[in-house]
């Protein structure tokens, strides 16, 4: 009985090297099982997949994410290029303010009316592409400024960061 207690503790010197190896291997397998479970919850949360298919799905998911990042970076640089290369004159960059609480994000974009405008539907499509549910969207025009206000419900905090990364750190000022 004393020997069984030492096996449970795992630090007893009475375990043979073979038993210690077996115990470490069992812990390693349990750790791998936990890691595959976490991967499965991110890649395929609705169904449980065998490990080889899970890894294939994870690989294609990573490729899709890399392509999406590349596309968003190109879109961002194109938008910033259009703002920076304005031939009519130099307009200030749009100002982006956001507030987030729990899973709700409120974003305000203020820009000059004379600059090439970002249309509201373009902003909304970014929110929807990132998995956010837009609750309200408003446009306010006052003098030479236009303000877009969007309030959305985001299911995961990673999506909030993805939304904000799309607009670029140069335009973001956290309020």
Q: Which residues pair with 108 in a beta bridge?
A: 97, 149
At residue 79, φ and ψ (nearest 5 deg) are -65, -45
Report the alpha-carbon distance of residue 152 to residue 105 in Å, rounded.
5
| 18-79 to CATH, choices 4.10.280, 2.60.40, 1.10.260, 1.20.120 | 4.10.280
Task: Say which CATH topology domain 95-174 has.
Answer: Alpha-Beta Plaits (3.30.70)
Q: Which two tokens stand for residue 8?
A: 């449970």
Residue 129 Cα distances to 45, 55, 163, angstroms = 19, 24, 9
The packing angle between helices 17-43 and 51-84, to 10°, is 50
Q: What are the extents of the domains in the chain?
A: 18-79, 95-174
Q: Kindly give the confidence (pLDDT) of every residue in the chain, 175 residues in length, as a single tens digit, with 9 standing for 90 and above.
A: 444 444 454 555 578 899 999 999 999 999 999 998 888 888 877 888 888 898 998 899 899 999 999 988 888 777 766 555 544 455 567 788 878 787 788 888 888 877 666 777 888 888 887 778 888 998 888 888 888 888 888 776 555 566 666 655 434 333 3
Widest distance between CA atoms in the chain: 88
């Amino acid at each position: 009985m004393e020997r069984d207690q030492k096996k449970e503790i795992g630090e007893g010197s009475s375990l043979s090297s073979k038993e210690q190896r077996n115990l470490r291997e069992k812990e390693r397998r349990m750790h791998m099982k936990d890691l595959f479970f976490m991967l499965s919850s991110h890649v395929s949360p609705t169904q449980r997949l065998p490990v080889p298919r899970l890894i294939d799905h994870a690989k294609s998911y990573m490729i899709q994410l890399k392509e999406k990042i590349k596309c968003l970076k190109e879109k961002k640089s194109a938008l910033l290029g259009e703002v920076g290369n304005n031939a009519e004159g130099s307009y200030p960059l749009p100002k982006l303010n956001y507030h987030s609480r729990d899973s709700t994000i409120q974003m305000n974009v203020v820009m000059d009316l004379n600059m090439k405008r970002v249309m509201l539907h373009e902003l909304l499509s970014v929110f929807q592409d990132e998995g956010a549910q837009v609750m309200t969207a408003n446009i306010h025009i006052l003098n030479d400024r236009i303000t877009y206000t969007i309030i959305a419900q985001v299911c995961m905090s990673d999506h909030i960061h993805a939304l904000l990364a799309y607009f670029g750190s140069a335009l973001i000022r956290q309020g």
